[in-house]
Homo-oligomer: A and B are copies of this chain.
Amino acid sequence: MAITIKDVAKAAKVAPSTVSRVISNSPRISEKTKERVREAMKELGYHPNFNARSLANKSTKTIGLVMPNSANKTFQNPFFPEVIRGISAKVHQLDYGLYLSTGQSEDEIFEEVQDMVQGRRVDGIILLYSKVEDRVIKYLHEEQFPFVIIGRPYDDTLKGITYVNNDNFKAAKTVTEYLLLLGHKCIAFIGGNLDFVVTIDHMQGYDRALRNAGIEPRDDYIVFHEELQEGGQEAVIDLMSLPERPTALIVADDIMTFGVMRMLNEMEIHVPDDISIISFNNVMISELSTPPMTTVDINIYNLGYEGANCLIDLILHPDIGARKVIIPHKMIKRQTTQRLATNAVAPEVN
């Protein structure tokens, strides 16, 4: 068996409880004995047993990460390593650990979350996605278990939920306005999975900007696709088959944009000369597209970092109220956007 607190106690000629107090650095132990105990620990190579600790403590010092179902390709988005990096950073500072969900389907994930919560496997949970009708959110909320959402809850009836999000509505609106100012009138929107709240927020921002500009959004300019890569490509096929082709595209995700640009390239439609593109996220590779894409940097790392921050606060001070943190975004202008060529459509002079 591994070496326990008793062994240390024996070696240092103190009681186990004293050792325990030394571990938690209790001020009620004299420096001399602390030293003695610490030495014994070093010598014996003592490491506290986690489960025993958690059991006695009712605190695991670990937080659970719930991903979207990993069967899906969604998971391959570099978004995830990056949020996790942010979460890791914060969590590590405060000596928390990370436990990962492994479920491949919604049902499996739901079960896992139940086990984490009821089995006291984690002290809190971060949801790495936000879906429209989500049992997990409802469950966590009912259980009053500490959790935070990266994104936002869709259901407004659920009060008191802490989340960390971007202002995705605003971002999409701004981006649309920008395209409008560049003279584009035919702006299409390629969204992700409609189950995700972010997709809805994007679309509404887009919609609003158009309407504000007096343009009636057209159904055939709005498409949604689940899959990241194929999705982008299919969307392009659909849109470019339209009698009146769009001159600008707003794409939900940088990875999708890669697919979009691939397909456009095959069709010999040039970016940005023939068509402008703006997308969202600004993951690491985004600047490596040819041409480098204009995109909205949503500060993924900070979404994670702040999420972890909020969660740990919530765990430590359960009485603290719910927080809603908005991480600022920023449009990164690169080379996929351009003023609408005047020969395309006669510009209104107004």
CA distance A333 to B291 in the complex (A): 23
CA distance A9 to B284 in the complex (A): 54
Flag whether A318 is at the interface (Cβ < 8 A). Answer: no
Which residues of chain B are near A285, meaning CB under 8 Å?
Answer: 229, 255, 258, 285
Pair A284/B88 contact, Cβ less than 8 Å: no
CA distance A127 to B253 in the complex (A): 31
Known contacts being A97-B121, A284-B228, is A92 close to B73, with CB within 8 Å?
A: no
Flag whether A259 is at the interface (Cβ < 8 A). Answer: yes
Known contacts being A51-B120, A76-B283, A120-B50, is A91 close to B81, with CB within 8 Å?
A: no
Closest B residue to A228 by CB, please name it.
Answer: B284
B-facing mask of A41-68, CB < 8 A → 1, else 0? 0000111111110110000101001000
Flag whether A328 is at the interface (Cβ < 8 A). Answer: no
Which residues of chain B are near A80, meaning CB under 8 Å?
Answer: 81
Flag whether A100 is at the interface (Cβ < 8 A). Answer: yes
Flag whether A36 is at the interface (Cβ < 8 A). Answer: no
Q: Which of B82, B99, B259, B288 contacts A258 (CB 8 A)?
A: B288
Q: Which of B47, B62, B82, B290 contacts A290 (CB 8 A)?
A: B290
Least CB distance from A55 to B in Å reads: 4
Least CB distance from A34 to B in Å reads: 21
Q: Which of B46, B54, B70, B290 contacts A262 (CB 8 A)?
A: B290
B-facing mask of A1-20, CB < 8 A → 1, else 0? 01000000000000000000
Which residues of chain B are near A54, meaning CB under 8 Å?
Answer: 51
Flag whether A265 is at the interface (Cβ < 8 A). Answer: yes
Q: How many residues of A contact B (CB 8 A)?
A: 63
A102-110, A160-168, A175-183: which one contacts chain B?
Answer: A102-110
Known contacts being A2-B118, A102-B97, A262-B292, is A75 close to B81, with CB within 8 Å?
A: yes
Least CB distance from A126 to B in Å reads: 12
Flag whether A98 is at the interface (Cβ < 8 A). Answer: yes
By secondary structure, the A interface counts as helix
CA distance A49 to B115 in the complex (A): 9
Q: Which of B47, B85, B121, B258 contacts A119 (CB 8 A)?
A: B47
Flag whether A89 is at the interface (Cβ < 8 A). Answer: yes
Known contacts being A80-B81, A99-B100, A118-B2, is A52 close to B55, with CB within 8 Å?
A: yes
Q: Which of B96, B99, B284 contacts A76 (CB 8 A)?
A: B284
Which residues of chain B are near A121, meaning CB under 8 Å?
Answer: 50-51, 97
Pair B55/A49 contact, Cβ less than 8 Å: yes
Closest B residue to A118 by CB, please name it.
Answer: B47
CA distance A52 to B120 in the complex (A): 10
Which residues of chain B are near A283, meaning CB under 8 Å?
Answer: 76
CA distance A114 to B47 in the complex (A): 8
Pair B262/A120 contact, Cβ less than 8 Å: no
Closest B residue to A99 by CB, please name it.
Answer: B99
> Other than the known A45-B118, A46-B118, A98-B99, what 14 A-B pairs have Cβ atoms closer than 8 Å?
A49-B119, A49-B120, A76-B283, A76-B284, A80-B81, A81-B81, A92-B103, A100-B100, A228-B284, A229-B287, A258-B285, A262-B290, A265-B291, A290-B290
